Every structure is written in structure tokens, then in C-alpha cells.
């Protein structure tokens, strides 16, 4: 069984166990109208949230955790509030309006797990800057999310990817370390 199928099986196990989304439009830490960008439903089940590993998810999904820690390895972005890794489900009939990340310290990767049968870009896809992207199960998509991007799923089935952030390849190891140190001890309010 390939790694995508093993990760997909773990995600489905979370759904069968009733593990809820940890992304909520009621989240008071997401100010500035972020929730107004969404139409429909978008759910997350996080491994890394704001740079910190979510241990309970690593325990529930050991093969996914092993893939992120040992295969993605040192390139997996950790230690900054801009670092995330989660199962991302854009539910049927949902969209996320055009937006851009606050910085270009990272590249974002989508490892498609479940994609709608309808393969047309009009039905389910993503725009990054002026490029249109269609997800194919098992074929990773890497992009710089500091460019304006948007997603849509106009089908009757959900689209799920394992989303994870990696360090921008133009940053040196010393620069990465300095960025992590900068966020390690935030100044008092």
C-alpha cells in the first residue's frame, strides 16, 4: 500500500472515530474577517498548528506523523506561528475566496487524498496567481501561498488533501534558525 493510501486510511479512521474539525468560524483568534472568505464548509484536523505539533494527532495517525517527520523531515516548517499541517477537507459545494499568506517564509504543499470524480477545473480546483491547478490523487501540489490564491469545490463530494508547510528553499539553515528564535520568546504585551 502506497503512503498516500496509508495516510488516507488514517484520515478516514479519524472521521469514523468522530474526531471533530479543529477549525471553527467561532475561533476568536482568527480576527480580521478570515471567516468571511469561506462559502460552505472547510474542516481541518491538525498535526501542526501555529508551529506546534499536536501530539494527540501524531498518536492517532502514526503513519501520517512518520511521513511528515521522517520523509518531509527538516524541511517541515515548525516553530513559527505561520506553520501548519493538517487534513484539509473542502466540502461539497464550498469555496475559499482569493487571499494571500502574510509572508513568503514557506511553501505550501497539498498531497491529494480524496478528489471528486469530476476532473474539470470549473468543478473543483485552485487558482494560484494566474495558474489554475487541478488535484490528482497522490500527485503533490506545491505553491507559494504568499501569491493570491483561491479554491473551489462545486461538486457533490468532498475534496481532502494533507496540507503541510515547508521552509522556503531560498532560506538558509541559519536564517530558518533565526526566524524560529525570533518567535520562541515573544516580547511581553
pLDDT at 183: 87
Q: For 3, how many CA atoms within 13 A lie in the half-sphere containing its CB? A: 16
pLDDT at 130: 96
pLDDT at 1: 84
Residue 13 per-residue DSSP state: H
pLDDT at 39: 84
Full-model pTM: 0.91
> Residue 88 and residue 153: Cα distance in Å, rounded?
13
pLDDT at 186: 58
Tell me the sheet residues that pair with 76. 166
User: What is the mean pLDDT, run by run of 10 residues, along the chain of 189 residues?
Assistant: 94 96 63 63 93 93 96 93 95 94 94 93 95 94 97 97 97 95 71
pLDDT at 178: 94
Amino acid at each position: 500500500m502506497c503512503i498516500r493510501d496509508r495516510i488516507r486510511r488514517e484520515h478516514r479512521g479519524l472521521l469514523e472515530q468522530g474526531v471533530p474539525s479543529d477549525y471553527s468560524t467561532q475561533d476568536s483568534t482568527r480576527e480580521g474577517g478570515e471567516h468571511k472568505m469561506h462559502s460552505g464548509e472547510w474542516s481541518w484536523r491538525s498535526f501542526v498548528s501555529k508551529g506546534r505539533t499536536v501530539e494527540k494527532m501524531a498518536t492517532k495517525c502514526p503513519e501520517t506523523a512518520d511521513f511528515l517527520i521522517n520523509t518531509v523531515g527538516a524541511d517541515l516548517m515548525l516553530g513559527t506561528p505561520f506553520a501548519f499541517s493538517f487534513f484539509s477537507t473542502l466540502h461539497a459545494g464550498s469555496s475559499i475566496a482569493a487571499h494571500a499568506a502574510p509572508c513568503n517564509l514557506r511553501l505550501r504543499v497539498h498531497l491529494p487524498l480524496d478528489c471528486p470524480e469530476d476532473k474539470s477545473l470549473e468543478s473543483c480546483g485552485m487558482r494560484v496567481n494566474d495558474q489554475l491547478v487541478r488535484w490528482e490523487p497522490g500527485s503533490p501540489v506545491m505553491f507559494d501561498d504568499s501569491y493570491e490564491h483561491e479554491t473551489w469545490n462545486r461538486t457533490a463530494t468532498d475534496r481532502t488533501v494533507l496540507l503541510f508547510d515547508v521552509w522556503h528553499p531560498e532560506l538558509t539553515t541559519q536564517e530558518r534558525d533565526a526566524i524560529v528564535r525570533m518567535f520562541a520568546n515573544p516580547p511581553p504585551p
